[in-house]
Chain A
Amino acid sequence: MTPVTDIKAQMDVLPGLDPRAPLLHVDDLRVEFRTRDGVAKAVNGATFYLNAGETLAILGESGCGKSVTAQAVMGILDSPPGHVTGGRVLYRGVDLLKLGEKDRRKVRANRIAMIFQDALSALNPVYTVGFQLAELFRKHRGMSRASSKLRSIELLDQVRIPAAKDRINDYPHQFSGGMRQRVMIAMALALDPEVLIADEPTTALDVTVQAQIMGLLAELQHQRNMGLILITHDMGVVADVADRISVMYAGKIVEEAPVYDIYARPAHPYTKALLESIPRLDHKGRQLNVIRGLPPSLTDIPSGCSFHPRCGYAREICRGDQPPPSYQIAPHRIASCHFIREVLGV
């Protein structure tokens, strides 16, 4: 049997990999879906970065392109109809979008792994959990059946599945929702990735189970100094765990800021409106502020600033041809709006 480390070293040969380069930098990513009904522009120039050990939340409503962004970064976009039409995804200096499928596989799960929202449909129902976990070690690490089984049990222990040794032979449907999500986490962490993308990891779970899972994720992230991208629409979860937030609307990041700043003083009208529309204790008995209208259809995104039809600050300039530029407000704070000063109230 070849020692595990040797095989890992062989697999590490990625052309242009620079360990000192930033962990993940997504630059002007563009994705579109070509369908019979026209071209849906799901991601229109998304830019963000992630450092080791940090949690970045990508916050947005359904259809804003947050999951498609994650799929493009992972290289699991359904294609066709999905196409990456521009931009770069730099992992330690390597543009993943330029890699061939063979090199891409070295990155997936090894370097960048992902957890999905619905664990029941993400796991294969006809194989045992143990088989699916062990498969990772056998395919990616070339380990034997026996040793990969041992590693799988260790992993299930780490995500605190009781009696892991026995449960390894169970099928996904025999686990509860929370336990299934733990299996998914074990699978994502199996090959020690540096980046973990969690796409709505707790949306399908009850709040008490959500608290268990978020706690577990935070602990594992801390142990491994892993970068975590948390994709969610839940502003409560974000406030609890994120370091920085990127707010997405109609395929663009409209605001990026550290978590404390964004909740205290949002700079983009959309962020501000979102925060004001959640029920809070001090608003009891009063009407909730609403964002009028609906999120735009991705086949027909409004010109200029895509939020202008729903925005209370919108004026003529917002409707023009050019989307608003990204303004640097402070170090690490960016917002794309012509009226940042008004929104911030300065």
Chain B
Amino acid sequence: MSDVSDLVLDARGLVKHFPITQGIVFRSKVGEVRAVDGVDLQLRRGETLGVVGESGCGKSTLAKLLVGLEKPTAGEIMVRGEDMTRLSGHALRRARRNIQMVMQDPYTSLNPRMTVGDIIGEPFAIHPDAVPRSGRERAVQELLDLVGLNPDHINRYPHQFSGGQRQRIGIARALALRPEIIVCDEPVSALDVSIQAQVINLLERLQRELGLSYVFIAHDLSVVRHISDRVAVMYLGKIVETGYHMAIYEQPTHPYTQALLSAVPVPDPRLRGHRDHIVLEGDVPSPANPPSGCRFRTRCWKAQPYCADHEPLLQIRQRAPHPSACHYAEVRDLLHRH
């Protein structure tokens, strides 16, 4: 597993700061939103990395950085031995084929004035050498078939499809250029429960058949647990804990992970009163002005004065068998089985 050649994506020290400006004629920078603030992540062939966190933790900005929709303030993204952040022009365009994205909202991410054939075929128009012009219609039909839609519906418009079907169209578009990596930003959160399962099964089937690697970003922890091999937990622009899914879900060591997991309602009434309920105070602080030291300390029940001055690194600790960014990381069993 740790073979370096298996690595399809290697991002190091990713930082994205958005400037806050004031004034119209004389624009001056008065601050910055630290959306992503030093994130490392590795992705291996055929693997799914789940990224979880609450809104505003920077997970969507991370997705945009990975597919090259935003330029990072600092850091590198190595794909096939090339640093995506240093590429431009033709080289960047070619590199982007390899890493595609599925968007959250299937209602706004498809152009309502384009037919399904045009939407899925648009990547071919941007990358004309991928598929010769004469073969494009067939390629689109094959893609429709691959994601479980009727290939005859190539001339229909997005509004003629349901939410789940639209998300399949979005997935077909992401697959058009045969990427190795797909970044899924909340791909099922806009869908009903009965439809979510269909799309998750589709993503898993495509991964098996095409050997895809996924970065799967979501706030729904049970969906992430189902689909991921490894999980990274984000808080205010940083990864606070990462590890194999069993490690994160069964032996969380970071207080934030523990609070997050304990807050997720479990669809089993028998567990009422048998689970730890850690209720955090307050809201996530603003990423424009994150707390000093450990960013979670303002909501943390373990916080000590030491946390305010010393930023904890994401590393394996004495009582934390997998990387955790807490000075006092310790495994906690959230479920008391009786």
Contacts and interface: CB of A to CB of B under 8 A. Distances in A.
Contacts of B194: 61, 273-274, 277, 290-291, 295
B3 interface: no
A238 B269 CA distance: 8
B219 interface: yes
**Top 9 closest A-B pairs, CB basis?**
A236-B265, A279-B226, A206-B54, A211-B263, A288-B197, A277-B197, A291-B194, A235-B267, A61-B192
Contacts of A273: 194
B264 A236 contact: yes
Contact of B192 (A215, A233, A264): A233
Nearest to A270: B194
B201 A288 contact: yes
A169 interface: no
B269 A259 contact: yes
Interface string A175-216: 011110000000000000000000000000011111110110
Contacts of A210: 263, 265
A263 B219 contact: no
B193 A279 contact: no
A235 to B, nearest CB: 4
Nearest to A64: B192
B16 to A, nearest CB: 21
Given A210-B263, A240-B266, A287-B204, A277 B196 contact: yes
Interface of A: 61-62, 176-179, 206-212, 214-215, 233-240, 242, 259-260, 263-264, 273-275, 277-281, 283-284, 287-291, 294-295
B266 A288 contact: no
Interface string B224-248: 0111000000000000000001000
- Chain A's interface: helix, strand, loop or mixed, by majority? helix
Contacts of A62: 192
A263 B197 contact: no
Contacts of B138: none
A289 B197 contact: yes
B226 A277 contact: no
Given A212-B280, A278-B197, 4 more contacts: A208-B279, A287-B201, A290-B194, A295-B192
Contacts of A263: 267-270
B200 interface: yes
A61 B192 CA distance: 6
B42 interface: no
B100 to A, nearest CB: 24
17 contacts: A61-B192, A177-B283, A178-B283, A210-B265, A211-B262, A211-B280, A212-B280, A237-B265, A239-B267, A239-B272, A274-B194, A278-B193, A279-B225, A283-B226, A284-B245, A288-B226, A290-B198
A221 to B, nearest CB: 16
Contacts of B54: 206-209
Contacts of B271: 239
Nearest to A263: B269
B221 interface: yes
Nearest to B245: A284
B25 to A, nearest CB: 27
A322 B249 CA distance: 47
Interface string B259-298: 1101111111111100001011001100000000000000
A208 B259 contact: yes
B55 interface: yes
B109 interface: no
Contact of B225 (A234, A264, A284, A290): A284
B55 to A, nearest CB: 6
Nearest to A209: B283
A158 B27 CA distance: 44
B223 interface: yes
Contact of A281 (B223, B225, B227): B225
B226 to A, nearest CB: 3
B162 interface: yes
Interface in B159-178: 162, 164
A275 B267 contact: yes
Contacts of A280: 222, 226, 267
A279 B219 contact: no
Contact of A207 (B192, B221, B225, B249): B221
Contact of A236 (B195, B197, B266, B283): B266
Given A62-B192, A176-B283, A279 B263 contact: no
A274 B196 CA distance: 11
Interface in B129-176: 162, 164
Contact of A233 (B193, B204, B219, B223): B193
